[in-house]
């Protein structure tokens, strides 16, 4: 890729910021990542990522992108002890009250079960190894620099917390805001003479409680990942996921009015309302490795940058700064990865009109994830919100898909590909799949859809 400028600045060194830094590193001579935290040298949680102490999922589509951006990354994760999910027989997935097929059936979309802290640690190492990228720790952006006409951002003002009171102006050809949903773009844009983007907010009031456990050897047999989704009448969820270093992450969560208790005993009793007997027994017999931690998520939030008629040159939003989803669906890291692909391809086409082209490209995977999470939330009568006839019809059809997937491993795999961003949701509505679902599906081990059927299309990454 040809170089578009001398210097790019990325605000934030979380997963999104690291992925953005990798994407812009090919197009600029130097890249500076500005991060307020002191970053750990080992795999460890940090203050700036409080949600890192809870269950995370890197979807199969996100894994593919990481391997594309950092060749050999997935093998490195596996070599570091991260469990790898390769077969349906290693799962216990219950969605909409339907336990999906657990028959032996290899997964085309392999899932790497890394904790958030461990994944960030390996991403930081890869980004730090890039010769033109520097990470400035204990540094906080206080504002943007702009050209006289305010039509272009020319850098950022940065406060150095390692030398209190020291603020410097860093010139840059591009500034990427990856500081999350709480970033300051909404105040920066009006200061430059631009209205903030329109926001779409969907209240979910999710609270979740997590802790690390060491399960007795073989307590769950081959199972490496347990997901129990919410159902009407029980708007609560449970995740139990094998992680590196032979420990498991247990997260229980509930929507407003159904929050889990914060204490160890209370969260265990909360899990008992969802977990089958053998999974509950494994949790009860497990050795706790830390105290429970809580987090609360008020609402999914999407900012419509792609619909803005004007946007300053030299500035982009990225990751959760564009859209943040109900965390129980595990979409955030994978959507950031797909945004990194969109940014990389947008930069390859030059700097002209970059913001408009990138925001439109990033909106495609964001829209898929937004519709998936919103549809899941609106399937629960306990979650307030308008349910158009199309949403009700789609959720009724997906309930039938899940019912057939209880005994149809091929349909289960297709459904997981959609959740993992390997297939577009339209794949579940192809005529051959609809006929299969309406007929009740095949009993026993069913073949996955072959090329030319539902399994052939990919989520667009442009």
Write the pLDDT tens digit of every residue in 341-358. Answer: 999 999 999 999 999 999
pLDDT of 287 reads: 97
> Out of 111-125, 190-204, 384-398, 435-449, which region has the weakest mean confidence (pLDDT)?
435-449
CA angle 407, 443, 108 (to 5 degrees): 55
Domain spanning 5-58+119-198+304-374: CATH superfamily: FAD/NAD(P)-binding domain (3.50.50.60)
pLDDT at 190: 93
pLDDT at 50: 75
- 28-34, strands of its sheet edge to edge: 133-136, 28-34, 5-11, 174-177, 315-317
Is pLDDT of 442 > 80? no
Where in the chain are the domains?
A: 5-58+119-198+304-374, 202-297, 389-456
pLDDT in tens, 292-326: 999 999 999 999 999 999 999 999 999 999 999 99
The pTM score is 0.92
Query: How much is the pLDDT for 448?
Result: 38
Cβ neighbours of residue 33 closer than 8 Å, sequence gap 6 or more: 9, 10, 12, 13, 17, 18, 21, 127, 133, 134, 135, 136
CB 241 within 8 A of CB 223: no
Calpha distance 207→39 (Å, rounded): 27
Q: Pick from 383, 455, 381: which is nearest to 422 by CA? A: 455
SS3 content of the chain, % helix, strand, coil (to 5): 35, 25, 40
Query: pLDDT value at position 244?
Result: 96
Mean of the per-residue pLDDT values of the chain:
92
Closest CA to 420 of 365, 339, 355, 352: 365
Has residue 151 got a pLDDT over 70?
A: yes
pLDDT at res. 461? 33
Instruction: Report the pLDDT value the prediction gives residue 454, as an integer from 0 to 100.
Output: 32
Does 92 score more than 70 pLDDT?
Answer: yes
Alpha carbon distance 462, 103 (integer Å): 35
pLDDT over 60 (residue 452)? no
pLDDT digits (tens, 9 = 90+) for 248-297: 999 999 999 999 999 999 999 999 999 999 999 999 999 999 999 999 99
């Amino acid at each position: 890729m040809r170089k578009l400028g001398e210097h790019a600045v990325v605000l934030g060194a979380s997963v999104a910021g690291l992925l953005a830094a990798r994407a812009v590193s090919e197009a600029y001579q130097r890249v500076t990542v500005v991060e307020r935290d002191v970053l750990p040298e080992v795999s460890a949680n940090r203050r700036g990522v409080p949600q890192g102490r809870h269950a995370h999922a890197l979807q199969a589509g996100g894994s593919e992108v990481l391997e594309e951006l950092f060749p050999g990354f997935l093998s490195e994760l596996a070599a570091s002890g991260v469990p790898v999910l390769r077969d349906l027989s290693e799962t216990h997935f219950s969605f909409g009250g339907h336990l999906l097929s657990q028959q032996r059936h290899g997964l085309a979309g392999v899932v790497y079960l890394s904790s958030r802290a461990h994944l960030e640690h390996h991403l930081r190492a890869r980004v730090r190894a890039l010769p033109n990228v520097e990470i400035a720790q204990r540094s906080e952006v206080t504002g943007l620099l702009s050209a006289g006409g305010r039509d272009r951002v020319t850098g950022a003002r940065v406060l150095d917390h390692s030398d209190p009171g020291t603020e410097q102006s860093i010139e840059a050809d591009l500034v990427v805001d990856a500081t999350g949903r709480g970033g300051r773009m909404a105040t920066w844009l009006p200061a430059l003479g631009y209205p903030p983007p329109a926001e779409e907010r969907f209240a979910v009031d999710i609270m979740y409680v997590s802790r690390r456990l060491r399960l007795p050897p073989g307590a769950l047999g081959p199972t490496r990942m347990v997901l129990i989704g919410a159902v009407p009448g029980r708007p609560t969820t449970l995740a139990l996921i094998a992680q590196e270093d032979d420990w498991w992450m247990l997260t229980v969560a509930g929507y407003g009015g159904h929050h889990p208790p914060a204490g160890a005993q209370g969260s265990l009793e909360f899990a008992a309302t969802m977990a089958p007997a053998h999974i509950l027994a494994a949790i009860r017999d497990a050795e706790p490795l830390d105290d429970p931690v809580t987090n609360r998520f008020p609402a999914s939030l999407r900012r419509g940058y792609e619909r803005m008629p004007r946007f300053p040159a030299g500035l982009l939003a990225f990751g959760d700064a564009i859209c943040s989803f109900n965390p129980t669906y595990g979409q955030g890291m994978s959507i950031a990865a797909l945004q990194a692909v969109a940014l990389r391809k947008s930069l390859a086409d030059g700097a002209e009109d970059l913001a408009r082209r990138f925001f439109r490209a990033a909106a495609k995977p964001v829209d898929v994830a937004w519709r998936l999470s919103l549809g899941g939330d609106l399937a629960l009568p306990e979650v307030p919100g308008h349910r158009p006839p199309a949403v009700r019809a789609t959720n009724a059809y997906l309930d039938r898909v899940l019912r057939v997937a209880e005994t149809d491993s091929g349909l289960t795999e297709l459904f997981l590909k959609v959740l993992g961003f390997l297939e577009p949701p339209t794949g579940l509505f192809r005529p051959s799949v609809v006929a299969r679902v309406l007929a009740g599906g095949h009993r026993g081990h069913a073949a996955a859809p072959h090329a030319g059927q539902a399994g052939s299309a990919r989520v667009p990454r442009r």
